[in-house]
Amino acid sequence: MTSVMTTLMTGAVKNTVTTVLTTATPPPVAPTGDHHSLAIALFAVVVLVTLGITLWVGRRGNAAEDFYAGGRDFTPLQNGFALSGDYLSAASFLGVAGLIALYGYDGVLYSIGFLVAWLVVLMLVAELVRNAGRYTLADVLALRLRRRKVRAAAGGASVVVTLLYLVAQMVGAGSLVALLLGTDSPAARTWTIIAVGALMIVYVTIGGMRATTWIQIIKAFLLVTGSVLLTVLLVVRFHGDLGELMRQAAQHSGAGRRYLEPGLKYGKTFTSRLDFFSLGLALVLGTAGLPHILSRFYTVPTARAARRSTMWAIGLVGGFYLMAIALGLGATALVGSAEVRHANSAGNTAVPLLALVLGGGNGSTGGVVLFALISAIAFATILAVVAGLTLASSAAFAHDIWAGAWRNRPRRERTGRQRAGLRGRVSRPAAEGVPASRSGEDPGPAAGEQQEVVVARFAAGGIGAAAIVISLYAQQLNVAFLVGLAFAVAASANLPVLLYSLFWSRFTARGAVWSVYGGLVPAIVLVFFSPVVSGTKVALFPGVDFHWFPLENPGIVSIPLGFLAGWIGTITSPEPADPDRFAELEVRALTGAGAA
């Protein structure tokens, strides 16, 4: 083993000589003084461009179809970019690369779950959901389990998941902008969070899904471009020798070879290993239950287009994570773990710091430009993702909780529904004229859906405000942790009920309700009694200690509980499942008959 090492080392001696020189740049610090002005200008450009898109695109239609599903006329390529835009959050761009910069291989381990999860989406969810639903995840359940309770449960779980994810994004925003302004003042973070929240409310209430999707597309394009640019610069810097990159990273990590081995972050104790397993489970199963991802599939016309957009998304997400790994290693090799940790204890600023070095170091024009550019991309990422989340959340509230459950609508008859579905298919290309007639759930469909959209717009404002307030209190939490938590809740509350509904003929309404709450409640309760909330120095309430659940991520317990509860609820159901409804769901999901 060591002989291999030494031969390779001697082989690389020539390279080392040169790279040692190049990597000997003094450890950078956040850019100082007037250099911030460029970053701030670019931020302003991002804000103006996105607002322009919102205003321009938002006028194109006001129907429910436009607000929730962007008119359903995006192409697979566009939607693939939008999907990856929704998915590659600040937590990925900043969080994953930061984790790799700090903990090496364990960060890689973390990123892989995000990618593999897409196979679940692709194979089990995307096409069927596209065919069987209209705007939200709960639509799919409601197709076969026509119960207000089911809708309310699924809608509620969706709101919780998106809210958690929102908080993660906004905390990331605060941390990023604080670094950019070279200040760690709480006031800067607070105002950033408030500003981001206000912007996302504007995007969603004015632009709806159409504007949100375009913002996602542009953002995903920028993100991929920025990552490619940095990766190319990095690889050039190391003369294409990735082994040397890894070696340098290990050398500057302060952990030596252990940096390239598992265990630096997740392997210290049995508990932390178990915690990571729990996180991995949540990541791989959670994606398919994320409301803002699922609602993306409704923006394309067919299930086949949904599949293709997922394939694009897998390509983009996979490529992005491969680059994120390189960038994380690069940040360690060129900036150093200590410096990254010094700038932000969670490592969230590793990539901007790397950009600074790659551009020529602190003080050089190139470095500042690149730093500002990457920061602006990260900022665009945050804005886009929070907009997508707010939209999904408001849709879940207005369409599922308010219209589907709270405003009691007995008129969910099958005939009306499927006839409406049919008419929807047929008249879709004619677009704006008759979109509301598709609802089929309401006596005065146009009026009902119009009202629903108004509620959704208000809900976006309310949810945005709630997210702002929560984010202000959660600022010291690691972005990656918060995202892991959102995934765990999605995997526990949303995925079991979705899979059962799609594939299990005997699944009943009680099973659905139990499944949602059986996953949601344990997940929330376990986190509340976890070391994240109390009992440690970095906890939400550092002063007190009421934790008894040892893990940070509840997935390993709550996901099986969600599945178990659904199963128990079904077998103890007093009334059996309705085979007619399952037949309808199955036929529609697999063939696309009557799809909206």
Partner 1 sequence: MPQQQTSSPGQGQRFDWWAAPAAATPSDAVPSDPPVPGAALSGVPSPGAPSGTPSEPPAPHRRPAVPAQPAPARTAPVRAERSPAPATAEPVAGSAPAGRSAGPADRRDTPVPAAVPAAEAAPAATTDSTEVYRAVQASAAFQDIRHSYRSFVFPVSGVFLGWYLMYVAAQAAAPGLMRIQVAGPFNVAWLLGLLQFASTFLLTWLYARNARTKRDRAALGLRWDTQDQLR
Instruction: Tell me which residues in 2-21 interact with partner 1 (CB under 8 A).
Output: 4-5, 8, 12
Asked if 315 is part of the footprint of partner 1 (rule: CB under 8 A), the reply reads yes
Asked if 446 is part of the footprint of partner 1 (rule: CB under 8 A), the reply reads no
Q: Which of 426, 538, 544, 571 binds partner 1 (CB under 8 A)?
A: 426
Asked if 304 is part of the footprint of partner 1 (rule: CB under 8 A), the reply reads yes
Note the Cα 80 to chain centre separation in Å: 14
> 3-state class of 140 per DSSP?
helix
Instruction: Measure the CA–CA gap between 40 and 195, rounded to whole angstroms.
Output: 14
Asked if 262 is part of the footprint of partner 1 (rule: CB under 8 A), the reply reads yes
Number of Cα atoms under 13 Å in the Cβ half of residue 24: 6
Q: Which of 27, 182, 254, 263 binds partner 1 (CB under 8 A)?
A: 263
Asked if 430 is part of the footprint of partner 1 (rule: CB under 8 A), the reply reads yes
Q: How far is the CB of 256 from partner 1 (least distance, A)?
A: 11
Q: How far is the CB of 304 from partner 1 (least distance, A)?
A: 6
Q: What are phi and psi of 526, to 5 degrees?
A: -65, -40
Residue 136, judged by CB atoms within 10 A of its CB (0-12, 13-18, 19+), counts as buried
Asked if 408 is part of the footprint of partner 1 (rule: CB under 8 A), the reply reads no
Segment near partner 1 (CB under 8 A), from 93-101, 275-283, 332-340, 391-399? 275-283
Pattern 548-587, partner 1, x by CB under 8 A? -------------------------------xx--xx-xx
Asked if 149 is part of the footprint of partner 1 (rule: CB under 8 A), the reply reads no
Residue pair 481/552 in contact (Cβ under 8 Å)? The answer is: yes
Q: Which of 235, 260, 466, 525 binds partner 1 (CB under 8 A)?
A: 260
Asked if 273 is part of the footprint of partner 1 (rule: CB under 8 A), the reply reads yes
- Interaction residues for partner 1, span 459-498 (CB under 8 A): none
- Interaction residues for partner 1, span 44-103 (CB under 8 A): 73, 75-77
Q: How far is the CB of 517 from partner 1 (least distance, A)?
A: 25
Q: How far is the CB of 242 from partner 1 (least distance, A)?
A: 9
Give percent helix, percent strand, percent coil of the chain, each to the nearest 5.
80, 0, 20
Q: What are phi and psi of 344, to 5 degrees?
A: -160, 120
Q: How far is the CB of 550 from partner 1 (least distance, A)?
A: 15
Residue 7 identity:
T
Helix or strand run (H / E) with residue 137: helix 137-144
Q: Which of 149, 342, 419, 457 binds partner 1 (CB under 8 A)?
A: 419
Q: How far is the CB of 588 from partner 1 (least distance, A)?
A: 8
Instruction: Measure the CA–CA gap between 525 and 341, rounded to whole angstroms.
Output: 31
Q: How far is the CB of 326 from partner 1 (least distance, A)?
A: 12
Instruction: Measure the CA–CA gap between 229 and 568, rounded to whole angstroms.
Output: 52
Segment near partner 1 (CB under 8 A), from 229-237, 267-275, 289-297, 349-357? 267-275
Q: Which of 40, 116, 235, 338 binds partner 1 (CB under 8 A)?
A: 116
Choice between 427 and 476, CB closer to partner 1: 427
Task: Name every residue whose Cβ is closer than 8 Å to that of residue 549 and which is 6 or more positions away in sequence.
Answer: 526, 527, 529, 530
Segment near partner 1 (CB under 8 A), from 108-116, 213-221, 395-403, 525-533? 108-116
Asked if 261 is part of the footprint of partner 1 (rule: CB under 8 A), the reply reads yes
Instruction: Measure the CA–CA gap between 134 and 162, rounded to whole angstroms.
Output: 19
Instruction: Measure the CA–CA gap between 204 and 567, rounded to whole angstroms.
Output: 37
Torsion of CA 247, 251, 253, 255, to 10 degrees: 100
Asked if 130 is part of the footprint of partner 1 (rule: CB under 8 A), the reply reads no
Quick one: which of 407, 54, 102 has its CA closest to 199?
54
Asked if 311 is part of the footprint of partner 1 (rule: CB under 8 A), the reply reads yes
Asked if 428 is part of the footprint of partner 1 (rule: CB under 8 A), the reply reads yes
Number of Cα atoms under 13 Å in the Cβ half of residue 474: 27
Asked if 361 is part of the footprint of partner 1 (rule: CB under 8 A), the reply reads no
Asked if 124 is part of the footprint of partner 1 (rule: CB under 8 A), the reply reads yes
Q: Which of 51, 250, 460, 533 binds partner 1 (CB under 8 A)?
A: 250
The single residue listed with the structure tokens 């996953």 is: 519
Number of Cα atoms under 13 Å in the Cβ half of residue 557: 18
CA distances (Å), origin 562, targets 239, 484, 517: 50, 17, 7
If you compute the radius of gyration of the chain from its CA atoms, what whole number of angstroms results? Answer: 24
Quick one: which of 263, 189, 282 has its CA closest to 526?
282
How many residues sit close enough to partner 1 to count as binding (CB under 8 A)?
Answer: 82
Q: How far is the CB of 108 from partner 1 (least distance, A)?
A: 5
- Interaction residues for partner 1, span 218-247 (CB under 8 A): 243, 246-247
Asked if 334 is part of the footprint of partner 1 (rule: CB under 8 A), the reply reads no
